[in-house]
């Protein structure tokens, strides 16, 4: 039996950062404006998705580096960086650099797996090593070791006028404690717990057996498994990332559009989808009072004290402003959240 839900302690949001190919600056600036608005509204964190060869943010760390210079308090995260596109050594350098610029506010989330449509882009991504690349957990373990300060080279010292370090520079103390793993299966939840990471859950899970399929129950079981394998046990951090759309201050037109959006996505919530057998959570739309009631009854939500609610992919900037404002001023307080909690 899931425990009674505790007051929500950390409120965050997640965006894909869509843009028009003809005017990418406007879309990226809009994302930075949302992050600044989130800080103004008291959100604890803002997270960016990563999209490659699409019209969403392909370089979240670059955008977050800009956000470090426009904000002072809000935590900045990636949810998630797919490591199949990354060299762990270079990524470790970028993570540490942005963390230093932010004053220790970066929360990097990552996951493993073969890049989507790999057979179509392999020659551009890894033209010489495509058949040898390891896209499993070993790639993640390399990143963990480098962020934690283990040696990347067997040489340190001065060579001519150049000074070299064995470990990644800059080294940002504390960054390793803020690494998050995006897990959607029991196996990945086990791995994240065993390696002492924080856990990002989302609106996608991979069922570990045949139906009936109850998304909330599957997610709750994965969270409990993560904590059972984590050195911190029940104190291990978990964040939930459902699509949650409050309508308190929405116009009638917005409410109708939000409901239509959720309804169109409902079929994918009824059974596992595609070769990977992924099960999606229903999008939650309604007043904050209605949403708070539904979340308190959600087995996955009952396991967490932190959330990063996902903004819908295809809405306009004014919609996101309304949703964020209602999340911070209506739904968050209804769930027991208040800005500035430790």
pLDDT in tens, 202-223: 999 999 888 789 999 999 999 9
- Report how far residue 34's alpha carbon sits from residue 190's, in angstroms, rounded to the nearest whole number: 34
Q: According to the model, what pLDDT value does residue 19 have? A: 97
pLDDT in tens, 297-340: 999 999 999 999 999 999 999 999 999 999 999 999 999 999 97
pLDDT in tens, 242-269: 999 999 999 999 999 999 999 999 999 9
For residues 71-77, give the mean pLDDT: 98
Asked which of 176-190, 197-211, 214-228 is least confident by mean pLDDT, the reply is 197-211
Q: Give the β-pairing of 198-200 and 238-240.
A: parallel
- Report how far residue 263's alpha carbon sits from residue 244's, in angstroms, rounded to the nearest whole number: 13
Residues constituting the chain: 342
Mean pLDDT over all residues of the chain?
A: 96
Q: Are 308 and 244 in contact (CB under 8 A)?
A: no
pLDDT at 1 over 80: no
Confidence of residue 172 (pLDDT cuts 50, 70, 90): very high
pTM (two decimals): 0.96
pLDDT at 2 over 60: no
Q: According to the model, what pLDDT value does residue 342 have? A: 61
pLDDT in tens, 268-299: 999 999 998 999 999 999 999 999 999 999 99
CATH of the domain spanning 11-334, picked from 1.10.10.60, 3.40.50.720, 3.40.710.10, 3.20.20.30:
3.20.20.30
pLDDT at 183 over 90: yes
Per-residue tokens: 233: 């046990």
Q: According to the model, what pLDDT value does residue 177 have? A: 98
Q: Are 203 and 280 in contact (CB under 8 A)?
A: yes
Give the DSSP H or E segment for 14: strand 10-15
Radius of gyration of the chain (CA): 20
Q: According to the model, what pLDDT value does residue 273 have? A: 94
């Amino acid at each position: 039996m899931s425990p009674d839900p505790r007051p929500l302690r950390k409120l965050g949001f997640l965006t894909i950062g869509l843009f028009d190919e003809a005017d990418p600056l406007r879309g990226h600036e809009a994302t930075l404006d949302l992050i600044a608005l989130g800080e103004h509204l008291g959100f604890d964190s803002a997270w960016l998705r990563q999209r490659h060869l699409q019209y969403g943010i392909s370089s979240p760390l670059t955008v977050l580096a800009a956000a470090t210079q426009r904000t002072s308090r809000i935590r900045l995260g990636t949810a998630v960086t797919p490591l199949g596109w990354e060299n762990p050594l270079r990524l470790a350098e970028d993570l540490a650099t942005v963390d230093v610029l932010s004053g220790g506010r970066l929360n990097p989330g990552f996951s493993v797996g073969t890049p989507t449509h790999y057979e179509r882009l392999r020659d551009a991504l890894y033209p010489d090593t495509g058949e040898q690349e390891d896209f499993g957990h070993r790639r993640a373990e390399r990143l963990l070791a480098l962020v934690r300060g283990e040696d990347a080279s067997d040489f340190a010292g001065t060579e001519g006028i150049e000074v070299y370090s064995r470990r990644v520079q800059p080294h940002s103390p504390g960054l390793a404690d803020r690494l998050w793993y995006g897990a959607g299966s029991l196996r990945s939840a086990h791995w994240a717990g065993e390696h002492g990471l924080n856990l990002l859950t989302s609106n996608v899970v991979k069922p570990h057996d045949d139906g009936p399929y109850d998304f909330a129950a599957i997610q709750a079981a994965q969270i409990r498994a993560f904590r059972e394998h984590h050195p911190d046990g029940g104190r291990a951090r978990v964040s939930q990332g459902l699509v949650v759309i409050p309508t308190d201050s929405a116009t009638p037109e917005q409410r109708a559009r939000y409901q239509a959006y959720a309804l169109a996505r409902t079929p994918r919530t009824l059974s596992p989808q595609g070769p990977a057998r992924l099960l999606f959570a229903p999008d939650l739309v309604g007043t904050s009072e209605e949403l708070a009631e539904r979340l308190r009854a959600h087995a996955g939500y009952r396991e967490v004290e932190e959330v990063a609610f996902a903004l819908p992919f295809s809405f306009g900037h004014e919609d996101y402003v309304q949703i964020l404002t209602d999340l911070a001023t209506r739904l968050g307080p209804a769930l027991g959240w208040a800005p500035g909690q430790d």
